[in-house]
Structure 1
Amino acid sequence: MTKNTGIQGRSNDQKQNPSVLDNFKPLLVDVAVPLGSYYLFKDAFGMSTFAALAWSSVVPAVRTVWGLVKERKTNALAGLILVVNLVSLLLSFVSGDPRLMLAKDGGVSSTVAIGILVSVVLGKPMMTAGMKPFLVKGDAAKEAAWQRLTSGAAAGSAAFLRKERAFSVVWGVALLAECIARVVGAYTIPLDTMVWLGTVFLIGAMGIGFVVGGGLAVEPMEKMLAAEVEAEAGKAETPSAAAVAA
């Protein structure tokens, strides 16, 4: 019974605190599936560049709709991305411009980037949801330390919150830069090249987010979290030592 309870507890924790990979699975699907389907439609089925781009954009839109229906709750960012996708697709069909079809992906990146940066301004950094499980690792002491640091109850709270915001800012700026590069590339680089190069831009932005965000925020936060756990443990031991001395 005890073992089953522990397994269920860990399972519930994983659902409530998704890992970094869990948070980026939808993004990876939105990159891999459209890229593969574009070349399948264009090379195997002989579709035009515009038609191949249009059909390869269907899966990400359907996935977003399905996610909203499955969760049965309002997700502002997912809804915004869906609107950007649909409006861009409609404009692309009206104009018949494949370059606009490619540029629309930059609109999605900018939507995510702006959402992240606005969340920082509002004091609820969006990228914390993916970072926290990596730092806390399901440890009760670290979870408690996290709560103290983010609530302002700990001595290092101000520095910890600055780093938390910095992590989201790095991701927001990286994705905004990716958006600009993708839009410029859509109108200056050959279409077939831009189809895969757009993916390279996105992977590059994610790489910057992980590396720069990790060095600037995650590593220092991990050290501050460990220090807070140690400080709290020291406070708990102090009364016992005093009692022994008495």
Structure 2
Amino acid sequence: MQLMSEISTRRKALYFAAMLANVAVDLLLPTVVLLALAPTEMPAALRLAIGGTLLAGKAIGGRVESGEFRWRLALVAALVPTAVIAGCYLAGFGDVPSMVAGAVVSGAIVLGDLVRTRGGRRIDGFAVLVLLEVVASVVLTSISGDARFVLARTSLYLGIGGVFALATTWSERPLMRTALKPVAAKGDPARADAFDRTWRKSARFRGYYRAMTAGLGAVFLIDAVLRIVLVYSRPADEVVQSSLVSQLSLPVLLVLWFAAGRGLAVPRAERLLDEELAREPVAP
């Protein structure tokens, strides 16, 4: 029994470590690409657009911590639009047309994946979210090629993510229910079944996961506003500094949200789950 508990604790620790690493990549990737491509003398707006394209490719691959990340799709969704952006720029099409072309190709890949995988299963809400963000990217990219504007586009993506999270809050599958069920189940099918039963029976249990979902939506919306303020509080020629500074608020907000959820909601939800599991008769 103790060995099983240790394995479950280790699995949970690895799951959360993967989640944190995933968030760190999301936060740092655009800035890393911005700096890494500096020797090419490519405009900052274009470098940021490529960073965003790589991030979109990673996003459409799915949640890394789930163990079902689609690597081939992620590579196609990241590298093909990047090649289109670079190819259009080198062909002399200019910054904005190059970025729009890359965004259009990203959208086509995401839409194609949605159509291809729709048959026989529920539409992937996360993929729909990525598609909405790519469409927004096409529209915004066509407006301006200013580096600060490209950098501030992330605020819209976060805003869409926040609205998406809030929209799922009162649905049958709030975002955090989907994300945290594997953690609560600890790889045990009996616990996974008990999770579903508890969800159906307990309004308090549902409330904890809905509160965490609403909190995450609020975090994204607050950060979206702060990011715009931070980006435009610095001169246009300090885009690298703006990129770094604008990343600061989200980790702080996520830490506060995580601490509240881990300290208040998760332990109470786990107690309800354990009580339901204990009520289930053991088969002879």
- After TM superposition, the score normalised by the length of structure 1 is 0.73
Contact 2:140 2:153 (C-alpha < 8 Å) held by counterparts: no
Q: What secondary structure does 1:121 align onto?
A: coil
Contact 1:33 1:56 (C-alpha < 8 Å) held by counterparts: yes
Q: What secondary structure does 1:219 align onto?
A: helix
Contact 2:129 2:164 (C-alpha < 8 Å) held by counterparts: no
Cα distance in 1, alignment partners of residues 271 and 53 from structure 2: 44
Contact 1:120 1:165 (C-alpha < 8 Å) held by counterparts: yes
Is 1:103 equivalent to 2:117 in the alignment? no
Match of 1:34 in 2: 30
- After TM superposition, the score normalised by the length of structure 2 is 0.64
Cα distance in 2, alignment partners of residues 160 and 82 from structure 1: 31
Is 1:209 equivalent to 2:266 in the alignment? no
Contact 1:171 1:213 (C-alpha < 8 Å) held by counterparts: no
Match of 1:224 in 2: 272
Q: Which moved more, 1:210-219 or 1:103-112?
A: 210-219
- Equivalences for 1:1-246 in 2 at 5 Å? 19=15, 27-42=23-38, 44-64=39-59, 66=73, 68=110, 69=113, 72-73=117-118, 74-88=123-137, 91-92=140-141, 94-152=143-201, 157-190=202-235, 191-230=239-278, 232=279
Contact 1:113 1:175 (C-alpha < 8 Å) held by counterparts: yes
Unaligned runs of 5+ in 2: 1-10, 61-72, 75-109
Quickly say closer, same or farther: Cα 1:86–1:63, change in 2 above 3 A.
Answer: farther
Unaligned runs of 5+ in 1: 1-13, 241-246
Q: What secondary structure does 1:228 align onto?
A: helix
- Greater relative contact order, per chain length (Cα 8 Å cut-off, separation 6+): 1
Quickly say closer, same or farther: Cα 1:188–1:78, change in 2 above 3 A.
Answer: farther
More helix by share: 1
Cα drift, residue 220 of structure 1: 1.0
Aligned-residue sequence identity (percent) comes to 23
CA RMSD of aligned residues (A): 3.1
Aligned residues: 215
Larger radius of gyration: 1
